[in-house]
Chains A and B, each alone.
Chain A
Amino acid sequence: MTQPSGTTEPEAEEGRRLLLVDDDSSVRESMVKFFRRRGFIAESTSERHEAEALLRNRRYDALIVDLQLTADHGREGYEVLSFARRVCPGVKTILLTAVRTTSTDRQGRESGADVVLDKPQALADLTRTVTRLLEGRS
């Protein structure tokens, strides 16, 4: 994920807690670094079960989850979203998918996603979406 040139840097989000779930370590690392530089407290994992353990035991303001977390299953992102909706209903959620269709949009929203976005997604745009959700703007 890279930032498109010429975009304005989003405002810093001091102390907002963010959980990033993606099985691609390079994507995960760049997202964590990007969000931390903007004042977020960002944690990440590649695994559904670790994400669920974190959601149950720690407080997050926002969750960004990739739909496809393992090659063999491919739809674990929905399960993480459903879990988050049950266990921490206030958390704002974004589903990322490289195979976006009307079906993934529908299933994502049914699983609890506030927003479904294409992947890759420019990090600056992603930050703006997170900020918008945290401010309660649709």
Chain B
Amino acid sequence: MPKTLLDEILEPGGLTVSFQPIYRLSGEVDLELAMAEGLARGPSHTTASDAAILFEYVRRKREEIRVDRVCIAAALEAARELPVELSVALNVHSSTLERDVDFPSFLEESLSEAEISGERVLLEIVQATTSYDGHRFKRALERLRAIGVGFAIDDFGAGCVSCLTLLEVRPEILKLDRALVKGLHRDPMRFAIVGSIISMAGKIEAQVVAEGVDHERDLEALRELEVDYVQGFLLARPGPAASVTSSRQRPEPRAVPVRARP
């Protein structure tokens, strides 16, 4: 039986993980390093080396649970080399939280093995489908919150994310989809929409990360809108954990604790 792409992804060493820095834009120090997002890529000789292909393929095969686990284990292992003060953002599908009832235990064990505390972890929830079992999903969130993990809604403003997701997750962070950020400086409607999301986030006590910041003028527009955090090629490309401190800005890293909820 020839190897499938999934076999290659799941093989030991099949995935590589890089980290992209996330900077605080609205703090006392301009562009202060705050978090690092772990980004998994498939084997370099396959089409899954392109993250979009990797995760589309995994979702089509309905293998999010197995692949999310392998990605997270690999990311946590690699995250050992990050400065201990930084928060670590990891992606997980909402379908994994719903269907993988042992995921909270798995994460707790993985964190223990990597000697990383739950309080340092921000789980970015990727919602690729609109239907899910709300009860099981919420139960998973509760168990994860109990170990100190915080939550972000990934790709906010695009795809399948609805406002009901906000009500269920009560996230600490909204990650603005890059499609909204690109060209922000020259599109008044985009500027108005992003401004409204930032305003809404403030009212629900969430902070906003703008992804896909690739141009200086978009960064300036985000500064004008007082977005909390920025992430993008303009500031730093993804790289090995050890490179995270050598990105565009080199301030003393400071912890950005994910706000605990009662």
Instruction: Using CB atoms and an 8 Å cutoff, list the residues of chain A in contact with chain B.
Output: 23, 25, 43, 45-47, 49-50, 52-54, 56-58
Contact = CB atoms under 8 A, between A and B. Distances in A.
Interface of A is mostly: helix
Contact of B47 (A23, A25, A43): A43
Interface of B: 2, 4-5, 47, 50, 52-53, 56-57, 60-61
Contacts of B61: 49
A57 B4 contact: no
A57 B5 CA distance: 17
A46 B46 CA distance: 12
Nearest to B5: A50
Contact of A45 (B47, B50, B56): B47
Contact of B53 (A23, A25, A54): A54
Contacts of A50: 5, 47, 53, 57
B60 A49 contact: yes
A50 B50 CA distance: 12
B158 to A, nearest CB: 15
B47 A54 contact: yes
A56 to B, nearest CB: 6
A52 B2 contact: no
Nearest to A58: B53
B60 A53 contact: yes
Given A50-B5, A53-B52, 19 more contacts: A23-B2, A45-B5, A47-B4, A47-B5, A49-B60, A49-B61, A50-B47, A50-B53, A50-B57, A52-B56, A52-B60, A53-B47, A53-B53, A53-B56, A53-B60, A54-B53, A56-B56, A57-B52, A58-B53
Contacts of B52: 53, 57
B60 A57 contact: no
